[in-house]
Amino acid sequence: MAALSGCNLVVLNPAGDVASQQGDLVVISTLLMLLIIVPVMALTVLFAWRYRQSNNTARYEPDWDHSTQLELVIWAAPLLIIICLGAITWVTTHKLDPYRPLDRIASDKPLPAGAKPLEVQVVALDWKWLFVYPEYGIASVNEMAAPVDRQIRFSLTASSVMNAFYVPALAGMIYTMPGMETKLHAVINEPGTYKGFSSNYSGAGFSHMRFNFLGLSNQDFDGWVSKVKSSGGSLDRNAYLTLEKPSEAVPVQHYGTVDPKLFNAVVNLCVRPGTMCMSDMAAIDRAGGLNAGGKAAADAILRANTLAGFPDTQPTGLCTVAEAVDAAANSGAVQRPTVTPISASAVQAGPQRLANP
């Protein structure tokens, strides 16, 4: 106990209301389970002592086989605890749903009417964290700041593999996955510098995938925003593609301006020029697929080209890979390559990405 007293039990003593409620849930659940564990451990010692071989005064009943009273205790006590745990789990699962907007700032502070949450877009990269503030048009790498007592609404995704965003003082962890967007609502109630990291192994640089979360007063947060804006860096698509490359132990970086459509392109896996967004692929599917897509498919390709920086490129039609190879060969633009069928082993090795020529 003396050695453990030096530990920082941040999970049980957090600085954010959501994490505080989650810490209370851990304590309550543990205490409820101890209602069974402690008596069983105590009775084990008691029975071993009372019915030891040298105790000739202990009751000896070799024909005993049933006790209604004992059966009631054995079954009723665990059943009541399970009912309590189930009720608590049901309530807190809905109340602490990461997608659910907050209804309070702290136990004694309701959410102010009309209060606007701080929007933060989070991208888990290899192996660093990118934070985009669309309201302010800024971004930072491996550093995040938020004002005290203001709701934070996170939108999270990943560039390549799954990670888990976790600031123990703020809220529970939430997964980030490529091609998907997850949500998290939280609030920080005390100023300070807190640790954030990835709690899901993601490769060689995983141990360096850490960042500082700054809980600031409103005045200090405005100063932090001004400092980031004055940094002069610009995070456009080309800068993002450079930043996206795997790197370890990356120092804090600030970007004074950000492409407002960047996060949407990251989620839809279409940051690279000429890559169709997943949302546009879904639009083609809704229109009936490649055979029946028609204008909807063409509009989707046009939108992808516009996002990629080629607004004047007009789609003239859709074609299969074989048709594209035949067209290139007939035009004489390129020498027709030898097409080798994909083997079953290649298919099992993973999906192959086709890029526009």
Per residue in 286-310, pLDDT (tens digit) is 776 655 545 555 566 666 556 555 5
Q: Encoding tokens for residue 274?
A: 């000429």
Q: How far apart are the first and last CA of the chain?
A: 66
Contact (CB, 8 A) for 281 and 293? no
pLDDT at 349: 46
Average pLDDT of every residue of the chain: 83
For 66-107, write each residue's pLDDT tens digit: 889 989 988 998 899 999 999 999 999 999 999 999 999 998
Q: pTM of the entire structure?
A: 0.76
Of 85, 153, 76, 91, residue with least CA distance to 116:
153
Q: Phi then psi for 281, rounded to 5 degrees?
A: -60, -40
Q: Encoding tokens for residue 202?
A: 């993601």
pLDDT at 316: 47
Tell me the angle at which helices 17-50 and 68-95 cross, rounded to the nearest 10 degrees.
170
pLDDT > 90 in the chain, percent: 57
Strands (E), the chain: 104-106, 109-110, 118-125, 128-133, 138-141, 143-147, 152-158, 163-167, 171-176, 182-186, 192-198, 210-216, 234-235, 253-255, 257-258
For 25-52, write each residue's pLDDT tens digit: 999 999 999 998 999 999 999 999 988 8
**Mean pLDDT of the region 132-159:** 96
Of 182, 180, 162, 181, residue with least CA distance to 172:
182
Tell me the domains of the chain and their CATH numbers: 8-51+69-95 (no CATH), 109-267 (2.60.40.420), 273-330 (no CATH)
